[in-house]
Chains A and B, each alone.
Chain A
Amino acid sequence: MGKVLEAAGVSKRFLGLQALKEVTLHLEEGEILAVIGPNGAGKSTLLNLLSGLIKPDQGRILFLGQDITHLPPEARTHLGLGRAFQIVQPFPELTVRENLLVGALFGKPGTSRKEGEAWVEEVLRLTGLQSRSEALAGDLTLLEDKRLELARALATRPKVLLLDEVMAGLRPKEAEEAVALVKQIRETGVSILFIEHVMPVVRTLADRVVVLDYGEVIAEGTYQEVAQDPRVREAYLGRRA
């Protein structure tokens, strides 16, 4: 087991707001890592930095030992760093199949149309979207949207997958299905870093948890360890007066 993804001393400031302050964390090969924290802790900023949508002011990001700090998002995807968004953003005027084809054909340069189409079938099957493959993505239900979001990231054939609150807004039963799906994806050899608000999901899914508060890592460990950490309780429940 080695580090597949690593943030080393990463900082990001938006005008007056220090969104992240010297954050250092890593993801092990084959691991499912949860990043949690109260609202505004910097979780989404972290994910945007890792996937390349924004650039850090300081620090480096390493992927499979390579410094990717200055690579644009598409180049990171080509290397095998996939991402699903929190607010589902399907291409509404394309069908489900076509949405996945975008990831399959462009996620790995040199993918032939035939290979891409075959892989899309595989992803449709894995994510249970076959019956909706010809539906326009704009016509999906929320649950289907979430599946599509995951499926599309998976279609790029990532080695590491970044998931941004993919369970948000799901009912417990639906979240259970989604958890099973994420576990299944891990079984195919994908390492996963996810952001989550729903604590039962974190407990059942995460091998390890990193807690952010005000842009800093305040705790790290198994779910039980961080759940008992007084600093984490304080961050979530408020400081005593």
Chain B
Amino acid sequence: MKGFGHFPLILLSLVLFALLPFLPFGVWQAFLLDVGFFVLLFTALALSWDLVARTGQLSLAHGAFFGLGAYSAGLLAPQLGTLPALLLGALTAGAGALVLGSVTLRLHGLYFAIASLAFSEVLRTLALKLPFTGGPIGLPVPPPFAGAWPLATYYLSFGVLLLATALSLWAERSPFRLAQAATRQSEAVARVLGVRVVQVKLWSLLLGSLVAGLAGGVYGMKTLFLSPYDAFSLGRAVEALVIPIFGGLYTTLGPLVGGVVLVSLEQALRLWIKEGYLVVYGAILILVILFLPRGLVGILGRRRG
């Protein structure tokens, strides 16, 4: 199927990110690694959102999957160690997705968005009220591998992006893409053509939530502290959908390009303009959406699938 034409570009950017810690940036090194970490993590989150959006489910629950992964991994890491905690964090997010998915099977587009928003709010309230989450005070999280390796969070983040990219490329190049596109464009017609719409939607939501949960787990290990308002932030769910819209929906390259450009732009603007950087950020977003309705990759002249 389509999407393979961009493969060299995708591969090149991945190699660049893999080598970033070893490039000679002098005093900028630490700052760039920080930016790189967030670029990788939020790009992965954006890819995981796009994977779900390809079925017509506009998720506002990605902040919640992220938070579920972050809290579960943060709570389990002291007992189980870094990797098992991350894995269980992802699975917790996946379990949440199955709950959300099975009650929203008949919902589409904006209706799904509203239900997923409610889901998100419920989970944040739980994180505030449950006895073992630290409530509004928050939850300290140990660094990965007991802090033995300074580059650990960066490469964990890179790993999450690799996984997100691999899943997205698979979905884009396999018949699954047709099932997702058919489901998005008309559920009734897709069903009459034999597409198991319910399964396609549930699988997409599950895969997307696993990646989002994993990203959340890594995030906690970087910030070393979680609070319900940060981990379950609606702003993060919005960022997860702004990046694919900015870069190009329903593709692998779109969220990748969008994430690299937008997250670095945000970090750079924050550095240069400090107060009010969001005004410039917002203006750029609006301009791109107005003049590039198919996102940055629309410039490449490829159609959507």
Measured CA separation A108–B188 after assembly (Å): 17
Which residues does chain A contribute within 8 Å of B190, judged by CB atoms? 102
Of the candidate stretches A22-30, A92-100, A191-199, the one touching chain B is A92-100
Q: Check if B193 sits within 8 Å of A107, measured CB to CB.
A: yes
Measured CA separation A109–B179 after assembly (Å): 13
Q: Check if B193 sits within 8 Å of A93, measured CB to CB.
A: no
Q: Check if B305 sits within 8 Å of A102, measured CB to CB.
A: no
Q: Which of A118-174 contact B (CB under 8 A)?
A: 136, 152-153, 155-156
Of the candidate stretches A13-21, A83-91, A178-186, A231-239, the one touching chain B is A83-91
Q: Check if B181 sits within 8 Å of A78, measured CB to CB.
A: no
Measured CA separation A155–B188 after assembly (Å): 17
Which residues does chain B contribute within 8 Å of A53, judged by CB atoms? 188, 191-192
Which residues does chain A contribute within 8 Å of B193, judged by CB atoms? 77, 102-103, 106-107, 152-153, 155-156
Measured CA separation A51–B189 after assembly (Å): 11
Which residues does chain B contribute within 8 Å of A74, judged by CB atoms? 191-192, 194-197
Nearest chain B residue, comparing its CB with the CB of A78: B194
Measured CA separation A156–B194 after assembly (Å): 8
Interface residue A72 (Cβ < 8 Å from any Cβ of B): yes
Knowing A74-B194, A74-B195, A113-B175 touch, does A93 contact B189 (C-beta < 8 A)?
no
Knowing A77-B192, A103-B194, A107-B193 touch, does A91 contact B181 (C-beta < 8 A)?
yes
Q: Check if A101 sits within 8 Å of B175, measured CB to CB.
A: yes
Interface residue B182 (Cβ < 8 Å from any Cβ of A): yes
Q: Check if B188 sits within 8 Å of A102, measured CB to CB.
A: no
Measured CA separation A174–B267 after assembly (Å): 60
* B174 smallest CB distance to A (angstroms): 9
Chain B 166-197 against A: per-residue CB contact (8 Å), 1 yes, 0 no?
Answer: 00000000010011011001101111111111
Q: Which of B173-231 contact A (CB under 8 A)?
A: 175, 178-179, 181-182, 185-186, 188-197
Name the one of B188, B195, B304 contacting A106, with C-beta atoms under 8 angstroms: B195
Which residues does chain B contribute within 8 Å of A153, judged by CB atoms? 192-193
Name the one of A51, A89, A93, A109 contacting B305, with C-beta atoms under 8 angstroms: A93
Measured CA separation A109–B181 after assembly (Å): 18
Which residues does chain B contribute within 8 Å of A107, judged by CB atoms? 193-194
Which residues does chain B contribute within 8 Å of A108, judged by CB atoms? 194
Which residues does chain A contribute within 8 Å of B305, judged by CB atoms? 93-94, 98
Tally A-B pairs: CB < 8 A. Answer: 81
Nearest chain B residue, comparing its CB with the CB of A112: B175
Bin the interface of chain B by size.
Answer: 20 to 34
Interface residue B274 (Cβ < 8 Å from any Cβ of A): no
Chain B 128-168 against A: per-residue CB contact (8 Å), 1 yes, 0 no?
Answer: 00000000000000000000000000000000000000000
Interface residue B303 (Cβ < 8 Å from any Cβ of A): yes
Which residues does chain B contribute within 8 Å of A105, judged by CB atoms? 175, 178
Which residues does chain A contribute within 8 Å of B303, judged by CB atoms? 93, 136
Measured CA separation A57–B188 after assembly (Å): 20
Measured CA separation A93–B304 after assembly (Å): 6
Knowing A74-B197, A136-B303 touch, does A51 contact B178 (C-beta < 8 A)?
no
Knowing A89-B186, A92-B185 touch, does A106 contact B179 (C-beta < 8 A)?
yes
Q: Check if B194 sits within 8 Å of A72, measured CB to CB.
A: no
Interface residue A59 (Cβ < 8 Å from any Cβ of B): no
Name the one of A85, A109, A113 contacting B189, with C-beta atoms under 8 angstroms: A85
Measured CA separation A116–B196 after assembly (Å): 17
Which residues does chain B contribute within 8 Å of A92, judged by CB atoms? 185
Q: Check if A102 sits within 8 Å of B186, measured CB to CB.
A: no
Interface residue A9 (Cβ < 8 Å from any Cβ of B): no
Which residues does chain A contribute within 8 Å of B191, judged by CB atoms? 52-53, 72-74, 77
* A161 smallest CB distance to B (angstroms): 11
Q: Check if B194 sits within 8 Å of A91, measured CB to CB.
A: no
Question: 6 closest Cβ contacts across the A-B interface?
Answer: A77-B194, A107-B194, A106-B194, A73-B191, A91-B185, A103-B193
9 further interface pairs, Cβ-Cβ under 8 Å (given A94-B182, A156-B194) = A51-B192, A53-B188, A93-B303, A94-B185, A102-B195, A105-B178, A106-B196, A136-B303, A153-B192
